[in-house]
Structure 1
Amino acid sequence: MTETLMASSISVPTSADFPVEHHKSQQWHLAREVPVAFIYNAHPHAVMMATPQDLEDFAIGFSLSEEVVTERGAIEDIYIEQDEEAFRVFLSIDETKTGPGYQQKRTIAGRTSCGLCGVAELEAAIRVSPNKHAQVTAPAPEVLVKSLQSFHRAQHIHKINYSVHGAAFCTMDGELLHLREDVGRHNALDKLLGALTVRSPTPEGYVVMSSRCSFELVKKAVTFGLSGLVTLSAPTSLALEIAQKNNLFLACQDGPERLTFF
């Protein structure tokens, strides 16, 4: 059965209860993972496996970070259709404001663990737009530690199922403004970037994430114009190379109150 929903009215479960054996029988709240299709001007573009919440943010962030459109204003309308355990997100966009990602459709579903699934061409896989900001001075380590502590406290879904990633935006003084969660780290970042578009202009700041620092995350951060990325593990060499070329500072947590800058 198909149901059409306004983007702002989406309210669906993000977890499902299952019995487990752990010393004694109990219920475990597992994160939901469902197909989410993005359809631009009636043309199917990509299917991502994601947690079914904040789908309007997800659609906006994906459209910008993958350069389907060049600005938020190019997205004229969004509506969401639920069909059993799948969602279709229909976006009406101004085709005079599309970017290189609009022509780069995905040929298979995007897995939650991989932000590149379905990208057909190698050139598109590593395409990074020029940096959108000048070099910035990274916050002091104690500021980043403060934002990491706030981030861990704010991960509400993770506290229930221990299986979703989080992405949070912090100002340069460490104040946490927005947080989004999803079973896929790339999805969590896209949802966060979509949420940030409600602020115009976006304040200068950095993102904290509960994942490794892969180059796809750096690519999305650079495309959106962020100042930095703080993750729970070190970046890959390609991630660091892209970050250095585009004035994005990288740091990772290597202890309860320790950070390493790259």
Structure 2
Amino acid sequence: MAGEPSSTAVAARIAVRAGVSTPGHRALPEEVPVALSFGGTTQAVMMATPADLHDFGVGFALSEAIIRSPSDIVSLEIIEVDQGFDVQMQLADHIQSAFAARRRKMAGPVGCGLCGIESIEEALRALPDREDVTIEFSAEDVREAVRSLSMHQKLRAETGAVHAAGFYQPGEGIACVREDVGRHNALDKLIGAMAGSGLRAAEGAIIITSRVSVDMVQKAVIAGAGLLIAVSAPTALAVRTAEAAGLTLVGIARGADFEIFTRTSRITQGVASDVA
């Protein structure tokens, strides 16, 4: 297993501010190709930040419904290859057989979450029902979750150029954060880290720093979440999908303000009763 390189590099630059030019340096996030392989076959190649690659592999396998539990992975090895890394996973025999029957290729840039899917049915896959998730948040919990995530974004503080996904529990605070140049990668890393730490998504909220496309909703639902909070807006399909899956979707959470798009009953305090 290769050691993971630094997540950042330093680049020379000239800063122009208020008409004044100043030479200097800036930390930038690294971005490398990361292959995700199962049983010797590459399933996806994503451009990603080379950190927390074990979490990335496990989280990707979980959120893509390749596995149901981290125990379905017999071994995981991170191999350094030319210009990048290969996260090589061996699956239990029965999981590998099922995976081989449905395998698809994915190859895309950091903004791509559904690249290479071969059918509309697969893109709009059936999701578990999270109607029975009983987590409750107050309006202040929502605000605190977003504030806390910002405070834990170390790589963003250093570079200003990455997304984050975090897990927040009322009364406990932020339990886990992962960052990456890709919003999907950050969420997959978080899901993998949570699985490895025994954190249950139903017992808190997943917070993301990006817009909410349908695939982000799918990943959160598959992870077991009942509440997804985002600093940006959702797509219309993301809202419809969240509603159908029983997921409370909160978007445009900035400062003291946020908007609840689905399943408002989980936000129990600090919200006007006529919309609860």
Runs (4+) of structure 1 exceeding 3 A deviation are 97-108, 135-138
Q: Within 5 Å, give how 1:1-262 maps onto structure 2.
A: 4-5=1-2, 10-22=3-15, 23-97=21-95, 103-132=101-130, 134-136=132-134, 138-173=136-171, 175-200=173-198, 202=200, 204-262=203-261
Q: Aligned-pair distance for 1:193?
A: 0.3
CA RMSD of aligned residues (A): 2.0
Q: Aligned-pair distance for 1:86?
A: 0.8
Secondary structure of the residue that 2:137 maps to in structure 1? coil
Q: Aligned residues: percent identity? A: 32
Residue type of the alignment partner of 1:50: A
Residue type of the alignment partner of 2:121: E
Q: Deviations over 1:142-200 (max 9, x none)?
A: 01111111111110000111110000001144611000000000000000000001233
Q: Which has the larger radius of gyration?
A: 2
Secondary structure of the residue that 1:197 maps to in structure 2? helix
User: Aligned partners of 1:223 and 1:69: how far apart in 2?
Assistant: 11
Which blocks of at least 5 consecutive residues in structure 2 are unaligned? Answer: 16-20, 262-276
Residue type of the alignment partner of 2:148: S
Residue type of the alignment partner of 2:107: A
Question: Mean alpha-carbon deviation: is it higher for 104-113 or for 206-215?
Answer: 104-113
Secondary structure of the residue that 1:13 maps to in structure 2? coil
Secondary structure of the residue that 1:212 maps to in structure 2? coil
Q: Aligned-pair distance for 1:129?
A: 2.4
Aligned partners of 1:136 and 1:247 also within 8 Å? no
Residue type of the alignment partner of 1:226: A
Q: Compared with structure 1, are the counterparts of its residues 100 and 252 closer, same or farther at alpha carbon in structure 2 (3 Å cutoff)?
A: farther
Q: Output the TM-score relative to the length of structure 2.
A: 0.86
Question: Mean alpha-carbon deviation: is it higher for 68-77 or for 123-132?
Answer: 123-132
Q: Aligned-pair distance for 1:250?
A: 0.9
For these two proteins, the number of residue pairs brought into alignment is: 255
Question: Mean alpha-carbon deviation: is it higher for 125-134 or for 37-46?
Answer: 125-134
User: Aligned partners of 1:13 and 1:253: how far apart in 2?
Assistant: 32
Q: Compared with structure 1, are the counterparts of its residues 154 and 106 closer, same or farther at alpha carbon in structure 2 (3 Å cutoff)?
A: same
User: Aligned partners of 2:164 and 2:253: how far apart in 1?
Assistant: 18
User: Aligned partners of 2:153 and 2:170: how far apart in 1?
Assistant: 20
Secondary structure of the residue that 1:18 maps to in structure 2? strand
